[in-house]
Structure 1
Amino acid sequence: MAVLSCYPVMMTKPTLSLQLFSLRELGSLDDQLSAAARAGFRSVEPLGHHLEDPAGLRRTLALHGLTAPTAHIGFDALRDDPGRVGEACSACGIKQLFIPQSLRFLPQKTTTAWQRLGAELGRLAERYKQYGVSVGYHNMADGFALLPTARYGIEVLFEAARGSPLIWQADIAWMSRAGANPAEWLQRYSKILASAHVKDRAPEDASPDEDGWADVGTGTLTWPSLWRLALANGARTLVVEHDSPRRPFEFAQASFAYLSRFMAHSG
């Protein structure tokens, strides 16, 4: 892994955000956004069901002084209701929509399934341009498993979407869990990298009740260099996440405090 000093200083300050999935156990949307703001965040990443009430989302974001530059959404909603989704994004200031891997298209995780998913996401990315929204793919670990064709799912997907405006939100911790080298993949797809998820892996068998994840800065990933690696290759929105935090607010607060040191030297 390259060291921090090897990467150029970025001229545009990145956005530090928080994935609301991490705060789902805290209660209502108002409770979650209140916690995010109290932890220090000024941006969050909502989920698809939050877009079902765009007026409520917009109002509650404003109440807590928050913005939502990105969101996660399910494949079906993205495909079946573009008018509603596009208008909701416009109302709430969301510029990028990311879809986590769709199991609907990958029941067997074959090369053909990856090709189908990439082609469909490429078409959706073209479709959403009319709403001023970029559509992107958010990886899990599966894309970095070698297929019988001796290729990786993620490269098959991006090849199938080539020529479209599809972008990428790299989940670096899932890449690490899959045994992939983040530097190799972020550099390879730097032209479409727009965002990255920032989360940490616990030491082996250390946090079974948290599915092996940790507060950012307390785990095994070298986030000082990974942070600069993501920025140097094009990520401009860094989204903090923990899939199963034991104490969601404390996770958000500690992770923000840790990453604030990087923000001070970014841009």
Structure 2
Amino acid sequence: MKNRRKFIQLSAAMGMGAFLPLQFCSPKKEEGAEIAESETLISASKETLAAFGIQLYSVKENMAENASETIKSLAGYGYNQIEGFDGGKGIFWGMKNTEFKNLTDDLGLDFVSSHVNTYKDLDRIAGEAGEIGMKYLINPYVGAQKSMDDFKRIADDFNKQGEICKKNGVKFAYHNHGYTFVDFDGQIPQDYLLENTDPDLVDFELDLYWVYTAGYDPLEYLAKHPNRFKLGHVKDKQSGLDKSEPDGSTLVGTGVLDFPSIIRKAKDNGMEYFIVEQERYVDISPMEAAEKNATYMKGLEF
């Protein structure tokens, strides 16, 4: 009986150990070691972008001088995607679509998308884009309109243009500016376009700079319209400027936009392509800025 009583007492004591605070159950770590471990866990949980691109309009003067050499330099900076525009020689810069594709392929670049006037000769352009495996043709600008009726017609246009693109094996998207956020008697054109275009035919490219400049929170806007923004322009705004100042583009990561938070939210809501754009330069050349922006993007954790 005496041995049985001792056994019960010992078992109870051991059982109580399960309820003791952790500091009594394991060796105490030094404060510095705990902080280091915490930082390691946080770092391990973060992501970096596997791929990112640049809108060639950011270096438009260089493209006009020598498109091939400019693109080679951009690849050397670390970009692995490009988004084009029509600089007067077409989106293939005077080359055949297959020649341009060979150039980008040789440099390890994916020619993801291009801005183009989707109201002109779209069937031909979409055919050439689809032939070389481009993902998107993007309408970059429709301009300020006088009424919501104008934007309603534009929504119909986008659905039709989306059908043309789909028939040719490429997708259609619209890139916003600030004018689609102007309130027309309680209606926001950007919201109308999102809600009245067919998601199977029309995607959107979210220009983060213009969303912020128009007075909206990019994080809230991404959450409001999940899976509609498949592409995004990573464009920063210089601090110290009025929020509504239209001409305030600056080096990515040096301005007011919180890109780690925004890109995390964007990826969680279906964004697939992250395209750097800068349109204003102070004491730096466009190519120097492109290189610095690539460095930022390579090191960006979110």
The TM-score normalised by the length of structure 2 is 0.75
Q: Look up the match of 2:33.
A: none
Q: Look up the match of 1:117.
A: 154
| CA positional deviation for 1:17 | 0.7
**2:262 paired with 1:226:** yes
* Distance (Å, rounded) in 1 between the aligned partners of 2:183 and 2:122: 34
Runs of 4+ in 1 over 4 A off after TM superposition: none
> Secondary structure at 1:76's aligned position in 2?
coil
Alignment partner for residue 172 of structure 2, among 111, 124, 135?
Answer: 135
**2:80 paired with 1:42:** yes
Q: What is the root-mean-square deviation in Å for CA atoms of aligned residues?
A: 2.4
Deviation per CA, 1:87-135, whole angstroms, max 9, x where unpaired? 22134321111111313xx442x10111111111012112221222110
Q: Look up the match of 1:93.
A: 133
Q: Look up the match of 1:67.
A: 110
- Identical columns (%): 23
Larger RCO (CA within 8 A; separation ≥ 6): 1
Flag the 1:62–1:42 CA change in 2: closer, same or farther, 3 A.
Answer: same
> Secondary structure at 1:65's aligned position in 2?
coil
Flag the 1:15–1:98 CA change in 2: closer, same or farther, 3 A.
Answer: farther
Q: List runs of 5+ in structure 1 lacking aligned partners.
A: none
Deviation per CA, 1:12-71, whole angstroms, max 9, x where unpaired? 965301100001111221122022112111111011322463133223213433211121
Q: Look up the match of 1:178.
A: 214
> Secondary structure at 2:52's aligned position in 1?
strand
* Distance (Å, rounded) in 1 between the aligned partners of 2:293 and 2:122: 35
Bigger CA radius of gyration: 2
> Secondary structure at 2:222's aligned position in 1?
helix
Q: Look up the match of 2:122.
A: 81
**2:201 paired with 1:165:** yes
Q: Is the 8 A contact 1:15 1:236 kept in 2?
A: no
Flag the 1:217–1:9 CA change in 2: closer, same or farther, 3 A.
Answer: closer
Q: List runs of 5+ in structure 2 lacking aligned partners.
A: 1-41
Q: Is the 8 A contact 1:119 1:157 kept in 2?
A: no
**2:237 paired with 1:201:** yes
**2:36 paired with 1:15:** no
Alignment partner for residue 24 of structure 1, among 31, 53, 60?
Answer: 60
> Secondary structure at 1:211's aligned position in 2?
coil
Q: Look up the match of 1:255.
A: 293
- Counterpart AA for 1:50: I
**2:185 paired with 1:145:** no
Count of aligned positions? 247
